[in-house]
Amino acid sequence: MATAATTDLKDPGLYEAGVPWDTFRELRREDPVHWNPEADGSGFWAVMRHADIVEVSRQPLLFSSAHENGGHRIFNENEVGLTGAGESAIGIPFISRDPPVHTRYRKFIMPALSPVRLGDIETRIRERVARLVAEIPLDEPINLVPALSAPLPLMTLAELLGVSIDLWPKLYDWTNAFVGEDDPEFRQSPEAMAETLGEFFAFGQELFDARRAQPTSDISSLLANAEIDGEPVPFRDFIGNLILVLVGGNETTRNSLSHSVAAFSANPDQWAQIREDRDVLKTAAPEMVRWASPVMHMRRTATADTTVGGHAVRKGDKVVLWYISANRDETVFEDADTFNVRRKGPLHVGFGAGQHVCVGSRLAEMQLRIAFDMLADRVKSFEVHAPPRRFRSNFINGLKNLDVTLRPA
């Protein structure tokens, strides 16, 4: 019988029926920097606690995300490609760069996500949410993912990229394929994945050429016209960064929204507090991300012999930061397994920490606040009918569907 100590945290099947909360809880208590062997004879350090994850994240040169050291996933990106599909045409995204190059890329992106820019986009997000919510029927079962959770962030991303918002279904299919390397629904065959990549490369090439010819203020232009050490970014790196923007900007918001509706269904008193006092959304949005932990882990590689949580870590060892465990750390969050929309205090690591904290975190929380503010005008309660189908993934805490009835206010 498998115990927490012998459970393979890398196994994507482990998360298909639900997050193994008991396993993470036991490891936090008994072995918070845990050696997880891999079938090929290698292994990785699984870091469970909030404090240790924050400490590792503050040292990006000692704990590297760089492509040449294996990248930011459990698999070695420099061996099997960014998406684990063995592709060679995708370049290095800035999440797989260390400072100072990583920092330079962030400076290129930040103008598109500045408070001035986000203040301008908020009105249009509200308009889109209003349309999406108005189209959701009340008092009958619907699948919330295609109705709201997926289109909302993808339409926002389309605007930021400067492409038609009507492209959101295609962007949805592409991002699922990019992160779904262990899910047969998303990776049906190598041939299907090759076709998906071909479609995306064609889309990316057209976008790259257009923004090089006529730059605008959108993120596509910033990525296409970035220069590193005086050299223009090549197309393949533009593609890598485009995948990063799509996945990062979609998966976090989409799954935080879906998980939060499920949480409100299970905790109607929490939804009642939102409806009674919309100011609660200021603390509720971070709690939604903590609760969902949409990105379950990130990987680093030690560049020198060091220690993590008192354990000796050797140069070249993989160090995997389990955000989903840290966000339920009992030593940091009071009643950590309780969904509490009024929670205040320590910051979750749902968006990462340190140098690699998500550049779009403010935008993600804005979309959550707007969505639930507008739902509160129309919805008295949520009733989830059955456990949702989950991603077969050790990386994304994703829901493929959420069958729910929205009861009218």
The 10s digit of each residue's pLDDT in 326-356 is 999 999 999 999 999 999 978 899 999 988 8
Please determine, for residue 262, whether its predicted confidence score (pLDDT) is greater than 80: yes
Q: For position 230, what pLDDT does the model report?
A: 85
As a whole number, mean pLDDT of residues 108-115 equals 77
- Tell me the sheet residues that pair with 44: 36, 318
pLDDT, tens digit (0-9, with 9 covering 90-100), for 39-74: 888 999 999 999 999 999 999 999 999 999 999 999
Q: For position 345, what pLDDT does the model report?
A: 77
Please determine, for residue 112, whether its predicted confidence score (pLDDT) is greater than 80: no
Distance CA 330, CA 337 (A): 8
Instruction: Write phi, then psi, for 232 (nearest 5 degrees).
Output: -65, 145
pLDDT confidence band for 406 (50 / 70 / 90): very high
Q: For position 227, what pLDDT does the model report?
A: 87
Q: For position 221, what pLDDT does the model report?
A: 94
Instruction: Write phi, then psi, for 71 (nearest 5 degrees).
Output: 85, -155
Which position has the higher pLDDT, 228 or 184? 184
Distance CA 294, CA 305 (A): 31
pLDDT more than 70, % of the chain? 99
Please determine, for residue 111, whether its predicted confidence score (pLDDT) is greater than 90: no
Q: How crowded is the C-beta side of 79, counted as CA atoms within 13 Å?
A: 6
pLDDT confidence band for 231 (50 / 70 / 90): confident
Q: What is the DSSP letter of 148?
A: I
Please determine, for residue 118, whether its predicted confidence score (pLDDT) is greater than 80: no
Q: For position 5, what pLDDT does the model report?
A: 82
Question: Where in 128-187 does DSSP place strands (E)?
Answer: 141-143
Q: For position 110, what pLDDT does the model report?
A: 78
Q: For position 1, what pLDDT does the model report?
A: 56
Q: Give me 30's structure tokens.
A: 């008994």
Every domain of the chain and the residues it spans: 12-408
Contacts 24+ apart (CB under 8 A), 36-41: 36/8, 36/9, 36/10, 36/320, 37/8, 38/10
pLDDT confidence band for 108 (50 / 70 / 90): confident
Where residue 136 falls (left for φ over 0; alpha for ψ -120 to 50; beta otherwise) is beta
Looking at every residue in the chain, the average pLDDT score rounds to 93
CATH code of 12-408, in short, is 1.10.630.10
pLDDT, tens digit (0-9, with 9 covering 90-100), for 10-36: 999 999 999 999 999 999 999 999 999
